Structure 1
Amino acid sequence: MTKTELVFSMDAYAGELICGVDEAGRGPLAGPVMAAAVILDPAHPIAGLRDSKKLSEAKRDLLAIEIKKYALAWAVAECSEQEIDEINILQASLLAMRRAIEALAVTPTLALIDGNRCPVMLLRAEAIVKGDDKVAAISAASILAKTARDHRLAELHLVYPQYALDQHKGYPTALHLARLREHGVSPIHRKSYAPVKALLK
């Protein structure tokens, strides 16, 4: 470990009932942004939790099942494409996070949020940069948000198969951009995003 690396410790949060919170889908051109909140059960630790982006799809799916089975509470929420266009993706991400926290069946005493911003809410919250690879509860939220969004995009692919959403999950890949140019903008595309906005002109 280099001198610049920091060891993240959960000791400062002893006695807190913590929910980890993360989102998925800020970058895509289509589909909602989704967030998850998870309160893990210390009596049922889950091995292998880490940033969902560093896990294979198969591993994420297996861990999502474990998280839903053993967590004290979990919830997933979203902001629609229309909401993203109305309030911008940052505010929509924070709103989806707040909705997920408020949907928990158990009330936490503290929310640990991945990133550098916290939603505005009554519950105490702390933002942790790269928290999805530092805090198990945030890792769990990252996994639930990602798997939920991937599932949603698979469903949307059945409605809009011309965009190949099952392959790129709405992200601005060369394939997605080519299909956008060929088929035009759909109701699930984010019209405030530059590549989509350009086609609307």
Structure 2
Amino acid sequence: METIKSIALQLKQVSHPNEWTNNLIHDNREGVKKLIASWQKQQQQQKDLQSAHLEKINYDISFKQYKLDLVAGIDEAGRGPLAGPVVTAAVIFGEYPIELMGINDSKQLSRLKRDNYAEIIKKHALSYSIHIQPVEQIDEHNIYQATKASMTLAVKSLSIEPDVLLVDAMTLPLPITQHSIIKGDTQSLAIAAASILAKTTRDNIMIEFDKIYPEYNFAKNAGYGTSDHLDALKQYGATNIHRKTFEPIKTMIR
């Protein structure tokens, strides 16, 4: 009879059910029951991941009028913070290699996973573009218009012109067929990829600002109005990267 340790090692090498795993289900040892239950759970999670990946791909493809149409996903990061730029990104995929599986709304992923996926996206994208909209533009035009302008510039900066735009909750002033999609980063692979590029870029920017303004803990709060950030504002006032048209900063500088 195989030892539990031996079974554990073998299960790590098995990715699909077979006669051996089917027989393990009838092993009455408690340790084996836990191992096979854990393995089955992992298999189901992998199936769910594959299914979600295919759904996102098929969702993007469904917007093509012709087979060779190029679909660009566009998203942003940083509309809500009190400090720092808003960052937008546009991504076009020509093919969908298995490495892209697991890409999702950037907010649903850990920082490590986002960083890893950002490199994978840049590697496999047919074209991608990232635009950083500074605080001055946000204060001059308001966050909605500044974000729209940034997304537009991100699309214009793509090395290949797309045939279809999938935009997360926005309509852009461009003569390209487009669809404004609510919570697009949970449905579209291209939008989810754009959200990851925008988020990772913005996080890295805020980490650099943290070195200049360490009192505000930007590396951790990314400029959002957390309690530590608000406390720092009360104690030290606003910096050059704070949005002067956002409260409580607007009231502070009157």
Using the size of structure 1 for normalisation, the TM-score is 0.92
Please say if residues 76 and 151 of structure 2, whose CA atoms lie closer than 8 Å, have aligned partners that are also in contact: yes
Matched with 1:3 is: none
Please say if residues 51 and 143 of structure 1, whose CA atoms lie closer than 8 Å, have aligned partners that are also in contact: yes
Please say if residues 70 and 94 of structure 2, whose CA atoms lie closer than 8 Å, have aligned partners that are also in contact: no
Report the Cα distance in structure 2 between the residues aligned to 1:24 and 1:167, rounded to whole angstroms.
Answer: 15
Q: Using the TM superposition, give the Cα deviation of residue 110 of structure 1 relative to its aligned residue in structure 2, in angstroms.
A: 1.2
Matched with 1:185 is: 238
Secondary structure at the aligned position of 1:72 is classed as: strand
Deviations along 1:71-126, one digit per CA (max 9) or x if unpaired, are 101110021111101110001111111111111111111111011x2121222221
Give yes or no for the alignment of 1:63 onto 2:117: yes
Please say if residues 34 and 76 of structure 1, whose CA atoms lie closer than 8 Å, have aligned partners that are also in contact: yes
Secondary structure at the aligned position of 2:248 is classed as: helix
Matched with 1:76 is: 130
Matched with 2:83 is: 30
Matched with 2:9 is: none
Please say if residues 70 and 93 of structure 2, whose CA atoms lie closer than 8 Å, have aligned partners that are also in contact: no
Q: Which amino acid aligns with 1:109?
A: D
Q: Using the TM superposition, give the Cα deviation of residue 43 of structure 1 relative to its aligned residue in structure 2, in angstroms.
A: 4.9
Report the Cα distance in structure 2 between the residues aligned to 1:43 and 1:58, rounded to whole angstroms.
Answer: 22
Instruction: Could you tell me which runs of 5 or more consecutive residues in structure 2 were left unpaired when the two chains were aligned.
Output: 1-54
Choose the corresponding residue for 2:64, options 13, 36, 47.
13
Report the Cα distance in structure 2 between the residues aligned to 1:43 and 1:184, rounded to whole angstroms.
Answer: 47
Q: Using the TM superposition, give the Cα deviation of residue 40 of structure 1 relative to its aligned residue in structure 2, in angstroms.
A: 1.2
| Structure number having the greater helix percentage | 2
Please say if residues 113 and 138 of structure 1, whose CA atoms lie closer than 8 Å, have aligned partners that are also in contact: yes
Give yes or no for the alignment of 1:104 onto 2:104: no
Secondary structure at the aligned position of 2:196 is classed as: helix
Report the Cα distance in structure 2 between the residues aligned to 1:44 and 1:97, rounded to whole angstroms.
Answer: 26
Q: What's the RMSD between the two structures over aligned residues?
A: 1.4
The structure having more radius of gyration, on CA atoms, is: 2
Using the size of structure 2 for normalisation, the TM-score is 0.73
Identity of aligned residues (%): 41
Instruction: Could you tell me which runs of 5 or more consecutive residues in structure 1 were left unpaired when the two chains were aligned.
Output: 1-6
Please say if residues 36 and 74 of structure 1, whose CA atoms lie closer than 8 Å, have aligned partners that are also in contact: yes
Please say if residues 17 and 109 of structure 1, whose CA atoms lie closer than 8 Å, have aligned partners that are also in contact: yes
